[in-house]
Each structure stands twice: as structure tokens, then as C-alpha cells.
Amino acid sequence: MSFKLATTSVSPPVLLAPLAGITDLPFRQLVASFGAGLVVSEMIASGEFLTDRPGSREKAELGATVENTSVQLSGRDAATMAEAARMVEGMGAKIIDINMGCPAKKVVGGYSGSALMRDLDHALTLIDAVVDAVDVPVTLKTRLGWDDDSLNAADLARRAEASGVQMIVIHGRTRCQFYKGAADWAAIANVVQAVNVPVVANGDITDAATARAALDQSGAQGVMVGRGAQGRPWALAEIAHALFGADAPQIPTGAALADMIATHYEAMLGFYGADLGNRVARKHLGWYMDNASTPAALRREILTSRDAAQVLKALPGAISDSERAAA
């Protein structure tokens, strides 16, 4: 199973979700190296992007041209969204995704993200503006609705498709749920039945079993994985192999895993610079060490060190030795 967005083939239909502070370029490249149909950038706030605040432009510039990458934009003003979309397209983006699902208070408080589900007429002005501004495919990521009394994802999806949106990702929760409770994959079926464009199920999909259940219950054409890839950049490839017959990933263990983590760490240092890169890397290193059952003292030593050379020296013992001890 696969589908196309203009010239981009989403095959296998297993996608990496945009996660703020996590799915940066080094992580997206690592996930893609194992196998993913599409990876989505961290959300770019269109207003900040246009005013060139530190960080926003760099994220888009350094990821827009990477193969099978979608750049995600958020905002509340149609003209601003359109101009940001034109700029991102000019930088080489092949797909632009509109965020109408982020539940964060900072985003919702600015009348962006999932707040737009409370006013579909206004949401459609943003969608129309972005679709009209660019020639590349435009996609939409959203939720089931604002709350249980306003499950309007199917209505939004139907109207978005009529406006020219070519793929819709639905997180199986309302905004008011944030990430609590369980994702309702069956509720996504209402969206699948409402449109003809591909629908992708998102929420609580962490492995082949949950991906299969999400597809069975929703009838969606693909799945999107977010938190399930933390510390497991091969997770999408495992799902693609189990469900869609893609090549099985070579999952590193022992010294090979330590080498992969060291390479990821160095990529973050190169991307952000030594000081910021070391701080950003800590969350990723923590997830890797959680999975490897690294002893608490060694884990603490690595996560509090400001010396990259010291971290690199300690990683083989933190990962490969811990794995052997746990076996």
C-alpha cells in the first residue's frame, strides 16, 4: 500500500509525526535512514518565520529540501500563512502541512493549532490561502475536534479536501484530551468515509500491533508515529516491514547501537553548535539509555556532562555494556 502526493511517493505509508524539540533535522535523517514514507518537520510558526526570529528560519531552511520531507506551518492569519508557505516552497519544500491539531496552551492561546477547530470558517480561510499560494501539495494535521461535544473532524476534512488539501492526518483525541486517555482510532473512520484523499491515523501508535489495530479500526491508508520513535528511530521501519512488506530494518545492538547513538549525538552538536547541541541531545540520550537499562549513576553522569568528548567516551559502556548485562 502506498499513495502519492504530486511527485512524492509516500511508500511505505508510515510517517514520522512532527514533535516540537524532537523531530529536528538530525533525528528526521536518522529515522529516514531506517525507512519512512514521509517525515514532517517541527512546527514552524508562520508569524515568527516571517519576522526571522532565531530558530524558525533555520529549521525550515535546513530541512525543506530533504527527500520525503514535509514542512509544517501553523498560524492564525491567512495572509501570513500564505506568505510563509510561498517562502518555504521557494526554499525547496515539496510538501507543506498545516497544523490544526497542536493542543499546547501557548499555541491554542494564539488562536492557532487545534483552536482553529472551534471556528471552521476561519480555519478554511487559512487552508484556502495556503493552497492558493503554492504549487506543491498541501496537507492537514488535526484532531477529532475541540472536545467531545464538537467532534467536527469529518466536516473539516470534507471542506479541506474541497479546498485542495491532498492528505489528512487525524490524531484520535480531542484537543481537550491533550494526550490523556487512549486514542480513539475507530472515530477516525468517520473522516475516512467523508473524503477521497488519503487519511492517516495518529495517536498511540508505537509498534506493529498498535499500527495494525489503528488501520483496522479506522480504515485509514497509513499511520503516523510520534512518541513511539523516541529512542527507537527504527520503529517506523519495523512497522513498515510487518504491515506493508518493506525490507526489515537492521536494528543495531551492542557496539553498533552505541556507534549509531554517538553519530546521532555528533550530528546534533554539528547542527546546533556544541553548547545548545549538548543540551538538546540529552532527551534523546535519555531515551536511548532508558531502553538499554543503563545504570542510574552512569546515566546521570552522561546527562549532566557538558563535555562532548566525555559523553562520547562514556556511551559505549552506557549502551553496549548495559545491553550485555541485561541479556
Is 241 annotated as a binding-site member? Answer: no
Residue 141 annotated as part of some ligand binding site: yes
The answer to whether the beta carbons of residues 197 and 154 sit under 8 Å apart is no
Q: Is-catalytic flag, 102?
A: yes
By C-alpha distance, which of 147, 97, 82, 146 is closest to 120? 146
Q: Output the CA angle 300-180-190, nearest 5 degrees.
A: 135
- For 105, counting Cβ atoms within 10 Å of its Cβ (0-12 exposed, 13-18 middle, 19+ buried), the class is exposed
Largest interatomic CA distance in the chain: 58
Using CA atoms in the order 85, 82, 100, 35, what is the torsion angle rounded to 10 degrees? Answer: -10
Residue 122 is labelled as binding a ligand: no
Give the count of alpha carbons within 13 A of 38, CB side only.
30
β-bridge mates for residue 225, sequence order: 16
The count of residues in the chain is: 327
How far is Cα of residue 133 from the mean position of the Cα atoms in its chain? 24
Specify the residue for cell string 545548545: 276
How many helices and strands in the chain, by DSSP H and E?
Answer: 15, 11
**DSSP secondary structure letters along 21-52:** TTS-HHHHHHHHHH--SEEEPPPEEHHHHHHT
DSSP character at residue 247: P
- CA dist list (Å): 206 to 87, 146, 239: 34, 24, 9
Place of cell 468517520: 190
List 60, 88, 100, 102, catalytic entry: 102
Question: Is the distance from CB of 242 to CB of 208 less than 8 angstroms?
Answer: yes
Q: Give me the phi and psi of 144, to 5 degrees please.
A: -65, -25
Using an 8 Å Cβ cutoff, are 238 and 207 in contact? yes
List residues with catalytic annotation.
Answer: 102
Annotated binding site for FMN: 72, 141, 171, 226-227
- Give binding residues as ranges: 72, 141, 171, 226-227
